[in-house]
Amino acid sequence: MVDRSSYRAGRPAERESDSLAGLRRALIDLRTLNHDLSAVRTTAPAFDGHDETGTVTITVSSEGLVTDITVDARWQARLPREHLGAALFEAYGNAMHATMSAQLEALDWADSIRGDDRIAEEVDERLRLNRRHYPDLADMLADVQHRRDRYEMATRHADPPATAPIQRDTTIRGPIGFFEITVIGGRIADIQVLLSRLPHPATNGTLVQEALAAFRSAARAGSR
């Protein structure tokens, strides 16, 4: 007959060992995400994008929000009216590309200096110091996983959920109604200028005010 008491006696220790290993992995993930997020936040606060003609400039923050738009006062001489929407979309796309490129470069730099061995050593030391505060490893694991989830959200959106990308398909217009933003799958998929509603003549100031209002409406829609 096989004595199974040793198996029964070993199970709690095995479970604790598994919990400790899971906790260690979660802590390493948390430290790594924190390191990467810090690197992303060192990028420039804003990035500009231009259309091919240089008529339109859009400034986007590091969180992906449009903060400023410039339209050349001679836009009607430099750009056909029917190309205005495409120029705005091109400038916005180039600004977003500049933002994401800078953040990816920051992450690559963070990877190059991170030092995984050092992070593991810091985690092991933290585990040793915190064992007295967490008699139940499951409590500590739950706490770490909660913070890891928050860091993952922060690195994904680079900002709190209030300014996260719009999660539903929608169409946004400015107050006059000639500037239209189409959002598909949480991303700006198209920008149109409805020529039938475009004032004539339309000054660059009118264009900027309408475009900024539409972008801000899109940001507010994303926070709901």
Percent residues over pLDDT 70 in the chain: 58
Q: What is the pLDDT of residues 132-163, one digit of tens each?
A: 555 555 665 566 666 666 656 655 544 443 34
Residue 143 inside a domain? The answer is yes
The CB density around residue 83, as the number of other CB atoms within 10 Å, is 16
Is the pLDDT higher at 124 or at 178?
Answer: 178
Identify whether 22 is part of a domain.
Answer: yes
Closest C-alpha among 220, 213, 199, 184 to residue 84: 199
- Residues of the chain with pLDDT > 90, as a percent, come to 33
pLDDT at 124 over 90: no
In terms of domains, do 52 and 143 share one?
A: no
Instruction: Please choose, from the candidates 155, 123, 118, the residue with its C-alpha nearest in 3D space to the C-alpha of residue 36.
Output: 155
In a domain? residue 2? no
Count of CB atoms within 10 A of residue 6's CB?
Answer: 9
- Domain stops at, among 119, 141, 161: 161
Q: Quick one: 109 and 205 in the same domain?
A: no
Domain count along the chain: 2
Which is more confident, 36 or 115?
36
Are residues 213 and 115 part of one domain?
no
Q: Do 216 and 114 sit in the same domain of this protein?
A: no
User: Mean pLDDT, to the nearest integer, of 8-19?
Assistant: 52
What's the confidence (pLDDT) of residue 1? 46
| Lowest-pLDDT choice from 17-26, 56-65, 203-212 | 17-26
**DSSP element (H, E) containing 88:** helix 84-113
Residue 3 forms part of a structural domain: no
Domain span at 177: 48-100+164-222
**Residue 1 located in a structural domain:** no
Q: Looking at the structure, do residues 109 and 210 belong to the same domain, yes or no?
A: no
* pLDDT surpassing 90 at residue 55: yes
Select from 142, 161, 180 the last residue of a domain: 161
* Domain boundary, last residue among 125, 140, 161: 161
How open is the CA angle 160-104-22, to the nearest 5 degrees?
65
The answer, yes or no, to whether residue 194 has pLDDT greater than 90, is: yes
Q: Considering the chain, what is the average pLDDT of its residues? A: 75
